[in-house]
Every structure is written in structure tokens, then in C-alpha cells.
Amino acid sequence: CRLVVLISGRGSNLQAIIDAVRAGQVPAEIAAVVSNRPDAAGLSRAREAGLPVEAVDHRAYASREEFDRALQERIDRHRPDLVVLAGFLRILGTRFIEHYEGRLVNIHPSLLPAFPGLDTHARALAAGVRRHGASVHFVTNEVDCGPLIVQASVPVLPGDTPASLAERVLSEEHRIYPLAIRWFAEGRLSIKDGRVLLDGAR
Ligand code: GRF
């Protein structure tokens, strides 16, 4: 299973995926790491791991459509079976999303459908929820929505700040994203009536 991982920043989820692939926990290879920011810290992680890296700087394109087209062209050179959004901070257009239908996944730092969008940890604290977490989902044309593959939840603790809560959620992200990719790579995921089905162990 060939993966192309898209990032915009720190790349800690990318690192978790690199580590899981190396440890033999995910039967896949990372064909390339692509960032819309040439200075993303995650690109250094990819280089250190000896992976091909590409930057497609969104600022060089006049419109989102042109950026999406350039990005798609760059991704497809690597013939991915699965495109993995790992902290990729650009909204993608309909044509791009449809092109990768059923093979584009994202991780979002909340228990979707709660708290789509930005600043999820601060919003979860403000709402006074007792549990918070992260979700891996197939990408469809709704932002931070689409058929859920796996979620992990953590408690919200007294005295939590957005940063302390984010850290607790992030360590779960690092566990569930490789797991979801493993299921995909093993051919165990399918979508039926907008819901994800997970086949038994192989
Ligand atoms: C993660 O919290 C992820 O859920 C969100 O953006 C953050 C990316 O972190 N989409 P990193 O770049 O993987 O460290």
C-alpha cells in the first residue's frame, strides 16, 4: 500500500506513521511527504527518514483550483493508494476530494461530530465537556466530516488548559492514525451507505 502524506507543520502525526511503518506495524510504504509550506518542520522529519519530500507552496498559485491541480499532479506522480492528511491546513476543493474518493483520510482533534473546525481544545474546555478526543475519517466534501474510521477519547481533567488537553489528545492521535492506516492497508475498510465497515482480523 503506497501512502502519500500531506502536512503543513510540525509533523508529529507523520512521525508516528513513519515509526509505525518502520516497526512493521503498518504494511505500507510512504511514497512521499508533501507540504504546502516549504518550511514545515515535518519536512525535516521526512528527510531524516530518507523519504522523498515535495513542497507545493500555495502562495505561488492564483486560485485554490490551480493550487489543488498542482497538488494533485504532484501527489499522483507517486501513485498513492491512500492520501493521508496529517495536519494539512488548507481546505481542499470538491474536484480534488472527488478525485481521491475513498482513498483520502484525515485526523481531526475532536470527537466528531463535536467541534469541527479550529481551536477544538479551547472550545471543548469552554463547553465544559467531560471527554474529548480525536477522530480519523474519510474525507468528503464537508469540512471535518465524512465517514468515521476510528475515534479515541480522553478525559478532560480539572485545571486543563488547551495545551494540556491538546497534549493528551495528541498522544491518542499518534496511536489511532497508524491503526486506521493499517486497517486500510490490510484491505479491511469499506464504505457502505456512508458508514465505514471494518472486516475481521486477517
Ligand atoms: C493535529 O492535532 C491534527 O489532529 C490536526 O493538526 C494537528 C497536526 O499536528 N489536524 P502534527 O503536525 O501532526 O504534529
* Gap between the terminal Cα atoms of the chain: 16
Q: Which residue has the cell 493499517?
A: 182
Measure the CA dihedral 87/107/139/53, to 10°: 40
CB contact at 8 A, 34 and 55: yes
Is 108 noted as a catalytic residue in this protein? Answer: yes
Identify the weakest region by mean pLDDT among 52-56, 89-93, 130-134, 169-173. Answer: 89-93
**pTM score of the predicted model:** 0.96
Tell whether ligand 1 has an atom less than 6 A from the beta carbon of residue 9: yes
| Closest ligand 1 atom to 8 CA | 12
The catalytic residue among 58, 78, 108, 174 is 108
pLDDT tens per residue across span 28-55: 999 999 999 999 999 999 999 999 999 9
Per domain, the residue ranges of the chain are 2-198
pLDDT tens per residue across span 98-124: 999 999 999 999 999 999 999 999 999
Residue nearest to atom 7 of ligand 1 (CA): 87
- Confidence class for position 202, pLDDT limits 50, 70, 90: low
Say what the pLDDT of residue 200 is: 78
> Domain 2-198 belongs to what topology?
Rossmann fold (3.40.50)
Distance 13 CA to ligand 1 centre (A): 6
The string of DSSP codes covering 47-111 is: HHTT--EEE--GGG-SSHHHHHHHHHHHHHTT--SEEEESS--SPPPHHHHHHTTTSEEEEESS-
| Closest ligand 1 atom to 107 CA | 4
